[in-house]
Amino acid sequence: MSATHHWNGILPSALEAVGNTPLIALDRLKQSEEWQGINCRILAKVEFFSAGGSVKDRIAKRMVERAETDGRLKPGYSVIIEPTSGNTGIGLALVSALKGYRCIIVMPEKMSREKEATIRALGADVVRTPTEAGWDSEESHIGVAKKLRDSIPGGIILDQYANENNPLAHYHGTYQEIKHSLETSDLKCKRISALVAGAGTGGTITGLSKALRDDQAQQASSKVGANGSNGQEAEEAKAVVVAVDPVGSLLGGGQVGPYQVEGIGYDFVPEVLDPNKPNIDCWIKTTDDEAFAMAHKVIRTEGLLIGGSSGAALAGTLKFLRDSPAGQAIAKNEDANVVVVLPDGIRNYISKEWFLEGALRAPTSNLTHEIAHV
Ligand code: PMP
């Protein structure tokens, strides 16, 4: 089935409801004071609409199906073991439930109970590891997953940190979906001016940026061929790729330290995040406070139930558009399209203090007054 299959007729299973998420214009957010002067379009790729609720469903499906094809995964025998911040775990547990694999997910303590409950509800096991354990220590989620693999017959780690099918799922899937959404829209300008995504394994930003570069290079060369112009247009067409990274992660530079936002940032550079990062133009650092305030704001203004790393992606987008020369030029242009990946939804974080604090705020003074008179 093509990556850009859309919802026609009856789907044979939830596996076909992986991906194919909508691209939504955040026009209401832009009207708020904080976004004043940002005139470009902000187009959100809203990933909680996927079957398992996140951007990681596509890679879970692709990693399993490719491992089945090449014979590494054997139905009825293999046990899928994976270290993850949780969303790849949900995706793998979902695929395992449908295909009949035993699945064991290893994740750090800091990751939400909602993710653990979802994985367990899908029939997989969950092992927790200390959040502060360094990635290369025996106690880390990666270290424990390796130990489990070595001791459980049939144990296999598909390894999202190194598996080429992680970025390829976004190259062939997520990017093609974005392109399809733009091409079937009524926008005059369908070109992507900037692409923004957070980095955890780096699979999303690596796959998307490579697909974008290849696509725009191809468009530019067909233009050169068509009208005989030089490569100048190709240069003009070059979109800016922005990676967002939390303060406390080393991916985008800076000191390693604690932070609450889940799914982005690491204390090592994963193999799938190309070490030379040729396709990433800039890294933007965000704090927990910025990320969580933005998530609350988008939920309230756009009615989109996004999670913390989505808030970070949008806080990073705003900083890019305000603070960098490249961003400022894009922000001025009403026809410019800035595509931002929003990786998961708030249902993954309902019990987290950062969410409850904002959501369960005391009623407005008006309501307090009204209730007193009931
Ligand atoms: N946000 C969340 C909530 C995630 O679970 C992940 C996956 N770790 C990401 C962002 C980053 O995605 P990637 O691993 O493709 O960089």
Give the model confidence (pLDDT) of 100-117 as tens digits: 999 999 999 999 999 999
Any ligand 1 atom below 6 A from CB of 308 = no
* Residue among 55, 164, 271 whose CB has most ligand 1 atoms within 8 A, to mutate: 55
- Residue 227 burial by CB count (10 A; 0-12/13-18/19+): exposed, middle or buried? exposed
Return d(Cα 366, Cα 252) in angstroms, integer.
45
ipTM: 0.99
In the reported structure, the alpha carbon of residue 198 is separated from the centroid of ligand 1 by a whole-number distance in angstroms of: 7
Which residues are the active-site residues? 56
Regions of the chain with pLDDT less than 70: 1-5, 225-237, 275-277
pTM: 0.95
Position in ligand 1 atom list of the atom nearest CA 310? 1
Residue pointed to by tokens 């490719």: 66
Specify the pLDDT at position 226: 64
Whether 174 is in the pocket of ligand 1, judged by its Cβ within 6 Å, is no
Q: Report pLDDT for 6.
A: 74
Q: What is the pLDDT of residue 2?
A: 43
**199 CB within 6 A, ligand 1:** yes
Residue 5 is predicted with a pLDDT of 58
Task: Say how many Å lie between the CA of residue 219 and the centre of ligand 1.
Answer: 29
200 Cβ inside 6 Å of ligand 1: yes
For 100, other C-beta atoms within 10 Å of its C-beta total: 9
Compute the distance from residue 310 Cα to the ligand 1 centre, in Å: 10
- CA dist., res. 263 & res. 59, Å (int): 14
Q: Whose CA is nearest to atom 10 of ligand 1?
A: 263
3-state secondary structure of 341: strand
d(CA 185, CA 145): 44
Q: Quick check: CB of 173 below 6 Å from ligand 1?
A: no
pLDDT > 70 in the chain, percent: 94
Handedness of CA 292, 131, 350, 310 (dihedral sign): positive
One DSSP character per residue, 272-290 reads TS-TT-TT--EEEEE-HHH
Q: Give the amino acid at 135.
A: W
Which amino acid would we find at residue 281?
Answer: D
